[in-house]
Structure formats: structure tokens, C-alpha cells
Amino acid sequence: MRSSAMPALVRRTVRCPCGRRSSTVVLAEGQEPLPLPCTAECERHKRRARLADAFGVPDPEHYVPVQVCSIQNCRLRAQCHAM
């Protein structure tokens, strides 16, 4: 049996301001959780999204960048330089 002095515990999901990270915490009922801080990974994600928007990439999460070939490392040199 629970004592009347003990508040009920509830589970809450907290997120960082950008919404990329989340965590579940247990708090006393009525208590508000603090948001998680954004990390360097959040900042990289935001930067990548801004760049994708600027260059018209529709889905930056599934975009595979094409490397510019150089004469030293390109096996298909003739095809690369014909473009």
C-alpha cells in the first residue's frame, strides 16, 4: 500500500530542442522534465539539412555524396573526364 506522502511516479519522454534526441525519465506526478541539450550530432544534422535545402537535395538522410575523382585514384578516368 502506498503512503499518502509519496507522490505518484509517471514516465515522460523528453527531447532536445531540435527533437533529434529523446529519453524516457521517471518523475513525480506534476513535475516538469528538463529538455535534453542538443549535441554536436544535432548540429551536424541541422547543418546537413541546411546544405541539402540549399542544393535541392530532397532527402539528405538517404543521399550518398559523389566524390570528385582525381587522376591518381580514378579507375574510370576516361568516363569521368568525358562528362
Q: List, for residues 12-71, the tens digit of each pLDDT value.
A: 999 999 999 999 999 999 899 998 999 999 999 899 889 888 888 877 676 666 665 555
pLDDT at site 28:
93
79 pLDDT band (50/70/90 cuts)? low
Which residue ranges make up each domain of the chain?
A: 8-58
pLDDT surpassing 70 at residue 5 = yes
Q: What is the pLDDT of residue 1?
A: 52
Neighbours of 57 (CB within 10 A): 15
Whether the CB-CB separation of 34 and 46 falls below 8 Å is answered with no
Please give the sequence-ordered ranges of beta strands (E in DSSP) within the chain, or none if there are none.
9-15, 22-28
